[in-house]
Amino acid sequence: MSVRQEVRDRILVVHIEREAKRNAIDVETALGIDAALNRLDDDPELWVGVLTGTRTVFSAGTDLKDGLDFRTERGGEYGVIRRRRVKPLVAAVEGVAFGGGFEIALACDLVVASAGARFALPETLRGLVPTSGALFRVIRALPLHVAKELLITGAELSAEQARQFGFVNRVTEAGQALEGALAVAEEICASSPVAVRAVLDAVAAQLADDDRRGWEETARAMETIRGSADSREGIAAFFERREPRWTGR
């Protein structure tokens, strides 16, 4: 199994464990995340979730060999991206959170990252566009010009930069992101779970219209690049491990 669940009192820890593939998400992994978060949603004894990778990597996003982003009924892409949650979910990030991995972190409520964590959206370097929420969530999470730079250059953001911009809540020492996220989760558990869920539901309701527009614009961007020569070239170059030769078509 590529996803492991662990219960610590009121906290459900979801581990993505596909390190040989940099925790890239395939169908099995998406189903594993979905099952874990369904459990978090449905079990009244669980109050907070922590989503993490391994000690060296959070997630490099979609496993391109497995095709396009797989959606589950309740969670959408990766089992988490479109999930309407009322229980808080904390991302614990070690190493890279690239592409869909960054988008998974953007879908969480809080982010704890180790000092060596890095965030990036490299899709345009492959002739693609982010498809799992980054086109609208990253411009809410970061200053607009910083977000644009990430989206159109593939530039990386360090954990400390992400904290300074307000996306990362806390930065830990290397290897300590999970411990830091568990500490945050325990702090959340000191609050009334009814009140916490009411707050998150109210916040989500206020963002719902923006999210709908964001998904519409994401679909439009995907249609623009679908079937383009550049998208085919970008994917081919990725698998052939060479620089792409863009034509602008």
Phi and psi angles of residue 53, each rounded to the nearest 5 degrees, phi first: -105, -125
State the catalytic residues: 103, 123
- CA 32, CA 80: separation in Å to the nearest integer? 11
Q: Are 37 and 3 in contact (CB under 8 A)?
A: no
Q: How many residues does the chain have?
A: 249
- CA 213, CA 207: separation in Å to the nearest integer? 10
- CA 104, CA 85: separation in Å to the nearest integer? 14
